[in-house]
Structure 1
Amino acid sequence: MKKLMVISIATLLSACSMTANNVAGTYQGTLPCSDCDKIEAKLVLKSDKSYIYETTYFQNKQPNEYLEKGQFEWDAKKEDVIVLDEHAGNRKFKIRDNYVEMCDQDGNVAKTGLNYKLKKVQVKK
């Protein structure tokens, strides 16, 4: 019983420590695309809870660039998931130590074996 209480308290404390400052930084990677060649993505999360999400879709080697800016919030149901606002289609990302991973609308990562991770390349101060 004591062990369970200690684990519960530790879990709560670690959840409380996750803030916009902890996730601030630049995340980059190549995402799979069902109707294009690939998607080059860059997500900049700032400590003021604003974001810049840049994507380049490659269709027949031709780039199509998109830029979305707005605010992000912590998901109310999943403490390690952020939600970008409507400017980025309310996309969700699970926060990890050195990367973020795109999620479905329920905040779950894809179990398809495809790589939906953007690696942290720069820490914002």
Structure 2
Amino acid sequence: MNKNLILLGLFASLALTTSCSNSESTSENEEEIIVSDQYLYEGDNSATALDWNGTYKGTVPCASCEGIETTLTLNTDRTYKLSTHYFGRNDALEEDDMGTFTWDETGSIITLEQVSNGPRQYKVGENRLWQLDMDGNMITGDLADHYILTKQ
């Protein structure tokens, strides 16, 4: 009988030790997942320090129309919806794109992955997005302020 109690106690302590070590490794794995969701960037940047998710809107210049009303919604699961409304062309042509976006290595620029045409990159700032040119550079010149979308 005593042997059975000793064996039972031994198995119980072994089970307890195993469950504690599994709990620690689960905790570490959960921490890794959280870190990966926070984008693995050091220091403050747009991806980690700003409340970037939401809907941004603005009218950007257009070479062949009166302007392009642009609405971009960024979701926390890194999906987006981009709606463009072309004024004065094809009866105010509207286009919608949906897909995913990625952050650059600095955590300050997003790239829209499934855009059918047009600009794909935006610099993320406090309650605004700057549309970048086709090469991913900030737009400069007299019309630069017209390439900003503001958070709604």
TM over 0.5: yes
1:117 lines up with 2:145 in the alignment: no
The one-letter code of the counterpart of 2:110 is I
Segments of 5+ residues of structure 1 without an aligned counterpart are 1-11
SS in 2 for 1:54: strand
Task: Report which of the two has the higher share of helix.
Answer: 2
Q: 1:84 aligns with which of 103, 106, 112?
A: 112
Shift of 1:87: 2.9
Q: 1:13 aligns with which of 28, 36, 43?
A: 43
Could you tell me which residue of structure 1 aligns to residue 93 of structure 2? 64
Q: How many Å separate the matches in 1 of 2:78 and 2:129?
A: 15
Q: 2:125 aligns with which of 74, 96, 101?
A: 96
Could you tell me which residue of structure 1 aligns to residue 56 of structure 2? 27
Q: How does 1:30-41 map to 2 (within 5 A)?
A: 30-41=59-70
Q: Deviations over 1:61-100 (max 9, x none)?
A: 8310000000000124x53110001334460000010110
Q: How many Å separate the matches in 1 of 2:89 and 2:79?
A: 33
Normalised TM-score (structure 2): 0.63
The one-letter code of the counterpart of 1:54 is S
Shift of 1:106: 3.7
**Structure 1 residue runs of 4+, over 6 Å off?**
none
Q: How many Å separate the matches in 2 of 1:87 and 1:111?
A: 23
Number of aligned residue pairs: 108
Higher-RCO chain (CA-CA 8 Å, sequence separation at least 6): 1
Cα distance, 1:100–1:92 mapped onto 2, change above 3 Å: same
Q: How many Å separate the matches in 2 of 1:28 and 1:88?
A: 19
Task: Report which of the two has the higher share of strand.
Answer: 1
Contact 1:57 1:65 in 2 (8 A): yes
Segments of 5+ residues of structure 2 without an aligned counterpart are 1-41
Moved more, 21-30 or 91-100: 21-30
Shift of 1:18: 1.9
Contact 1:92 1:107 in 2 (8 A): yes
Rg larger in structure: 2
Shift of 1:109: 1.2
Q: How many Å separate the matches in 1 of 2:97 and 2:90?
A: 22
Shift of 1:23: 1.1
> Identity over the aligned pairs, expressed in percent?
35
Contact 2:52 2:127 in 1 (8 A): no
